[in-house]
């Protein structure tokens, strides 16, 4: 199916859809699964779907998950399958994830028809991974984990060579939350700052002091960090504004520290803002917890990969500061996520996700299908 799957991936790449708008993508996956004799079920909201292969068994199903959504990024590549939608692109590899899961489902369905499928499987095509707190929460509420014993996923990694995967027991991604601060106070003439609430100074202090204070209030091994992405305050050089905003992300390597982060962040913000008599409204939006790979599930992925490609095809990988809503599934059932190598052999350029020139070595699709089918056959 190599040619078919590459063509399917390129079609998805040409027609990217943003989070919770993946109607055409959902329809294409559904049509191909139905053509293979399967009975997929579209999830509530009309995007994403779930499909069972094989009858229920007492031991429960193995679930395999992929995400469908693209990003609001302009595709900068000069390839025939470049995005046809301005300002949207599959710049994170979700088109590859979807194609890998589709191919795996087609292989597993054929094995089931031959009586060679060792245990039942559930395919989970999930929408809205790219928005916090992630579409995984909606999928869990829709019952995709009912009767599931373990769940597996993969994610493209341009740092790993195609033909290999990266694995790590324990946390493999980090928690990611959003933080918005809105500051208000009486402004005034910049010649008389003592008669005002100097929101520019207050905002600047929060921008610098909050990350610094947290490094002394939290165990450094927890990796709690705040990085600001937006600061807005004022419109004139001689006017102290009445309103300011500060927005960024809170990331954390450690699950326990992530649970404690909101209270600690609120406490420090209140202390700094009060020094400048600024009224501060805090909007702390929970994103996703760290994705924590369960050891036994991680070794199942390792066994599947080495059985097909050898020991050299698995490399250790570090914990990323990126967020991944696959973590919500792992709060319910054991499982693991693998990093799928997509860098062409010999390519020495530094590449990353969420960039307009992101692309993959399409040989990684074969590897992903072999990994998913292998973990089912060896389970």
Assess contact for 279 and 186: CB atoms under 8 A: no
* Burial of residue 205, with CB atoms counted within 10 A of its CB: 0-12 exposed, 13-18 middle, 19 or more buried: middle
Residues in the chain predicted with pLDDT less than 50, given as ranges, are none
- CA 156-69-292 angle, to 5 degrees, is 50
Going from the C-alpha of 170 to that of each of 149, 229, 290, 320, the distances in angstroms are: 18, 29, 9, 12
Q: How far is CA 367 from the centre of its chain?
A: 20
Assess contact for 361 and 342: CB atoms under 8 A: yes
Enter the pTM of the model.
0.91
pLDDT at 351: 83
DSSP string, 331-361: TTS-EEEEEEEEEPTT--S---SSSTT----
Give the other-Cβ count within 10 Å of 164's Cβ.
Answer: 22
What is the residue-averaged pLDDT of the chain?
A: 96
Backbone φ, ψ for residue 21 (5° rounding): -120, 15
Going from the C-alpha of 7 to that of each of 4, 13, 76, 155, 180, the distances in angstroms are: 5, 10, 20, 20, 42
pLDDT at 74: 97
Chain segment 110-161, per-residue pLDDT in tens: 999 999 999 999 999 999 999 999 999 999 999 999 999 999 999 999 999 9
pLDDT at 346: 87
Please name the residue that has the structure tokens 């033909």. 163
pLDDT at 73: 97
pLDDT at 59: 84
pLDDT at 357: 95
pLDDT at 50: 98
Please name the residue that has the structure tokens 């509420």. 141
Chain segment 257-294, per-residue pLDDT in tens: 999 999 999 999 999 999 999 999 999 999 999 999 99
């Amino acid at each position: 199916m190599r040619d078919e799957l590459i063509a399917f991936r390129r079609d998805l790449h040409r027609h990217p859809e943003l989070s919770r708008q993946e109607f055409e993508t959902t329809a294409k996956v559904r049509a191909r699964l139905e053509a293979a004799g399967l009975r997929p079920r579209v999830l509530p909201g009309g995007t994403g779907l779930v499909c069972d292969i094989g009858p229920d068994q007492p031991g429960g199903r193995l679930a395999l998950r992929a995400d469908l959504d693209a990003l609001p990024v302009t595709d900068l590549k000069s390839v025939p399958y470049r995005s046809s939608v301005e300002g949207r692109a599959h710049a994170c590899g979700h088109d590859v994830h979807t194609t890998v899961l589709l191919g795996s489902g087609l292989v597993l369905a054929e094995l089931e028809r031959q009586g060679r499928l060792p245990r039942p499987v559930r395919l989970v095509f999930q929408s809205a991974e790219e928005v916090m707190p992630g579409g995984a929460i909606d999928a869990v509420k829709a019952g995709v984990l009912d009767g599931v014993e373990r769940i597996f996923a993969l994610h493209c990694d341009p740092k790993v060579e195609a033909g290999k995967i990266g694995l790590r027991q324990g946390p493999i991604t980090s928690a990611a939350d959003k933080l918005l601060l809105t500051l208000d106070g009486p402004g005034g003439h910049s010649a008389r700052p003592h008669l005002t609430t100097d929101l520019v100074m207050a905002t600047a202090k929060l921008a610098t002091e909050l990350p610094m204070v947290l490094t002394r209030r939290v165990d450094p091994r927890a990796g709690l960090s705040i990085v600001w992405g937006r600061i807005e305050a004022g419109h004139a050089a001689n006017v102290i504004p009445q309103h300011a905003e500060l927005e960024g992300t809170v990331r954390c390597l450690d699950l326990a520290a992530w649970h404690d982060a909101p209270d600690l962040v609120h406490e420090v913000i209140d202390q700094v803002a009060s020094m400048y008599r600024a009224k501060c409204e805090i909007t702390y939006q929970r994103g996703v917890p760290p994705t924590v790979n369960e050891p036994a599930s991680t070794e199942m992925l390792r066994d599947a990969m080495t059985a097909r490609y050898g020991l050299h095809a698995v490399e250790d990988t570090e914990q990323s500061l990126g967020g991944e809503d696959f973590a919500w599934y792992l709060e319910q059932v054991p499982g693991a996520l693998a990093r799928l190598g997509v860098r062409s052999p010999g390519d020495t350029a530094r590449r990353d996700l969420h960039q307009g020139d992101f692309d993959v070595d399409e040989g990684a699709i074969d590897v992903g299908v072999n990994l998913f089918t292998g973990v089912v056959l060896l389970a």
